[in-house]
Amino acid sequence: MLRIRLRGLWLSAHRWTGLTLGLILALTALLGAVLVASPALDRYANPHLFIARDANEARTAPDALPLEALRQRLANEFGAAASFTLRPPRQPGDTLWVLVRSSKWEGTLYLAPQSGTEQGRRGTHEGLRNLIFELHSSLLLDDTGKGVLAIVALAYLLLLVTGVVLWWPKRWPPSLRIALGRGTLRALFDLHRTGGAVLGLLIAVSVATGAYMAWRPLGDVISGLAGQQALKPPAIAKGAAQGPRLPLDALVARAQQVFPGQPIGYVQVPGKPERPIRVRFRLPDDPHPNGIASVWLNPVTGDVLAARKWQDMDVGNGIVAWVYPLHTGQLGGLALQTLTALTGVALGSLGLTGIWLWWRRRRARAPTERVRALPQAPS
Are the beta carbons of 27 and 134 closer than 8 angstroms?
no
CB-based burial, 192-217: b 16+ in 10 Å, e otherwise? bbbbbbebbeebbebbbbbbbbbbee
State mean pLDDT over 294-312: 95
Q: Output the pLDDT for position 62.
A: 47
DSSP annotation of 179 reads: -
Residue 378 sits at the vertex; the CA angle it makes with 373 and 379, to the nearest 5 degrees, is 120
Residues in the chain: 379
**Separation of alpha carbons 279 and 293, rounded Å:** 8
Q: Output the pLDDT for position 58.
A: 47
**Separation of alpha carbons 213 and 268, rounded Å:** 20
Residue boundaries of the structural domains of the chain: 2-40+131-169+179-227+331-366, 48-124, 231-322
Q: Output the pLDDT for position 361.
A: 82
State mean pLDDT over 45-59: 78
pLDDT in tens, 163-216: 988 888 888 887 777 777 777 788 888 889 888 988 998 999 999 998 888 887
For the chain, strand residue ranges (E) read: 83-87, 96-101, 106-111, 118-123, 264-269, 277-281, 293-297, 304-308
Q: Output the pLDDT for position 63.
A: 57
Residue 265's pLDDT band, with cuts at 50, 70 and 90, is very high
Residue 59's pLDDT band, with cuts at 50, 70 and 90, is very low
State mean pLDDT over 219-247: 85
* Mean pLDDT computed over every residue of the chain: 88
Q: Output the pLDDT for position 185.
A: 80
pLDDT in tens, 345-376: 999 999 999 999 899 888 877 666 555 655 65
**Separation of alpha carbons 189 and 181, rounded Å:** 13
Any residues with CB less than 8 A from the CB of 200 and at least 6 apart, and which? 160, 163, 164
**Which amino acid, residue 271?**
G
Q: Output the pLDDT for position 170.
A: 80
Q: Is the pLDDT of residue 128 over 80?
A: yes
CB-based burial, 164-178: b 16+ in 10 Å, e otherwise? eebeeeeeeeeeeee
* Least confident among 10-14, 75-79, 179-183, 312-316: 179-183
Q: Is the pLDDT of residue 243 over 60?
A: yes
Any residues with CB less than 8 A from the CB of 160 and at least 6 apart, and which? 196, 200, 201, 203, 204
Q: Output the pLDDT for position 122.
A: 97
